[in-house]
Structure 1
């Protein structure tokens, strides 16, 4: 069993903003978050931090959260404290004790959707306002203006909670700050001139991966059309490198080349810097796709068995290609022609300035 979070006295010792003499913190309760899950909540985090600058934000996860590791360097200005593995799911008696050990909060935003766990937080956390994602905003202090049904998508759902608290449209836009050394390195590996199109062939789940031979075929089509394919390869995709280099020698793999440790780059900084130089990206339903959406790179998202309505990246420049459009749910159902056409559409829109509008236009 995970140990309970530190009681209020200990919290005050390592977070001066949590002192009883200072403003009450704001709590954000989450369940289990990989990189993509956390990135979908980033617009909400920005909105709340801007709307309530005097209240430190505590990000409290029942299990693990990317806010505590991969995204920590980028959200440090926004989050005062991250508590992961907080054990706020089961058993109820232990959960109640852990909730009571937490300090009073100005507001609580509960992103979870299991009725009992949300109810326990509503009853046993001390707060002046509570906002949650249950159907009809049940248990929330109030609903967002003009809305009775919660949105399907994670990002839009979280922003609706911000709207409920603020009483209007939240200011959610922002950027991920990275070291200039990362941008210089990306510029060396992707020099000015060519039109670069990123390809992100991995994910944590094999069922969400478009086959590598399709990515290779897409890379060839892009090269034939005068673009330079750029494979975004992390450690978990290392076994693909030889295949890609053999099949598409003109492709670039900027993250595979060694990086001087003396540059002190944080994880994801080079990926972000590379993404800033891409005209578009084609990605599975994966963390890199959500990362590219978060920095505004035009994104083609390939979806198979996962729920598009819930997990679509939050972007104003995006196209979704779904296996269901081609009579299946397996990623293999998506043809290369469809992915290429979607990329071409984004490249034209980006060039002509025709994108924009709602982040839900995917």
Structure 2
């Protein structure tokens, strides 16, 4: 089942199904959990931004067996968090049935709005359940916690650990992702022709059309970077191959789109001096690896989703209607394509500056 189908099913049947199940009663704090199920549907970005909280849970309860219930589209992100017991897929019926056969001390539903995951958490055999109190889903948890739309998302996930007495850090530890050695070795082979030359990684793709900036604009930036004497490497999936090939042919960039796994793409980004991308899972991977980022935001709220800290620069849409995305949904709009209105010349100048100077100052560029 596709993500859009799950969202449609949730909107049609979710509210009714939530009300049909008995309300969970708040439970008294128990002893340290020996087993936990963490539910994380959605895309790669949310999964990556959950990892700091997962690592804090592991540190607080080192003897706890932690299982993940993810989706096909984001399950691979959890390879960047060592020490997990198993990663099951939410949208694979056989794997979901296997989860229902288990018994857990604790289940944490990290979904922010949709109800189907809250239903799953209610049906899983667990003494204690934690989730966000964003709608009627809150009645299905023993501990329902508030959600703040203006809070950087990793810290929202830490709110789910507050009932366990685990506090959020003042700042996220960086790096907070771990790369497989094999992925680093593969990336090194792909990048060998660059030697020690610093380079910018470029990801021109997007999960939805409204978050796309356009291949021609990325090509213009890459051309300016090449004229300034810097190398670029294009990353992405098979769906990005045509755009990436056009960039590479016009600028001499190394094109790795469609040639690397998620972990190998992450290893390439880890070796880059800066990543240029829209609001994407690879953006959050770069932040989690400690790589500087230059990101382009349109419908999504940069306050909520853009990386924070030294080395991250943001071009946010200047349109009066932006940001408009809410709970993972972009409303119908008069703009037929992307609402990212960043000037390619300005983006190129900023990227070249970051390559030359290692710019470590965070700023929002309007």
Is TM (by shorter chain) over 0.5? Answer: yes
Instruction: Tell whether 2:198 aligns with 1:188.
Output: no
**1:336 maps onto 2:344 in alignment:** yes
Aligned residues: 312
Q: How far 1:233 sits from its partner (Å)?
A: 3.8
What is the 5 A alignment of 1:255-334? Answer: 255=256, 267-313=261-307, 317-324=311-318, 330-331=338-339, 333-334=341-342
Structure-2 separation of matches of 1:233 and 1:344: 21
Q: Deviations over 1:67-98 (max 9, x none)?
A: 2xx335444632434242267xxxxxxx9xx7
Closer/same/farther in 2, CA of residues 26 and 182 from structure 1, 3 Å limit: same
Cα RMSD of the aligned pairs, angstroms, is: 4.0
Render the CA deviation track for 1:92-139: whole Å, top value 9, x for unaligned.
Answer: xxx9xx799454422221112447557656755444443212249966
Are 1:26 and 2:25 an aligned pair?
no
Pairing of 1:89-128 with structure 2 (within 5 A) = 101-114=100-113, 117=116, 120=119, 124-128=123-127
Whole-Å Cα distance in 2 between the matches of residues 84 and 117 of structure 1?
10
Shift of 1:348: 6.4
**Could you tell me whether the CA contact under 8 Å between 2:48 and 2:78 is conserved in 1?**
no
- TM norm structure 2: 0.69
Q: How does 1:70-219 map to 2 (within 5 A)?
A: 70-71=76-77, 73-75=79-81, 77-85=83-91, 101-114=100-113, 117=116, 120=119, 124-135=123-134, 149=148, 152-169=151-168, 173=174, 174-178=176-180, 179=182, 180-192=184-196, 194-219=197-222
- Taking a change above 3 Å as real, the CA distance of residues 164 and 301 of structure 1, as seen in their structure-2 partners, is farther
1:57 lines up with 2:60 in the alignment = no
**1:56, distance to aligned residue in structure 2 (A):** 1.0
**Structure 2: unaligned runs, 5 residues or longer:** 2-32, 323-334
CA deviation after TM superposition for structure 1 residue 150, in Å? 6.7
Q: Which has the higher strand share?
A: 2
Task: Answer whether contact 2:40 2:47 (CA < 8 A) is retained.
Answer: no
Cα 1:41–1:168 shift into 2, 3 Å: closer
SS at match of 1:203: coil
Can you give the 5+ residue segments of structure 1 that lack an aligned partner in the other structure? 2-22, 88-94, 259-265
Q: TM-score, normalised by structure 1?
A: 0.70
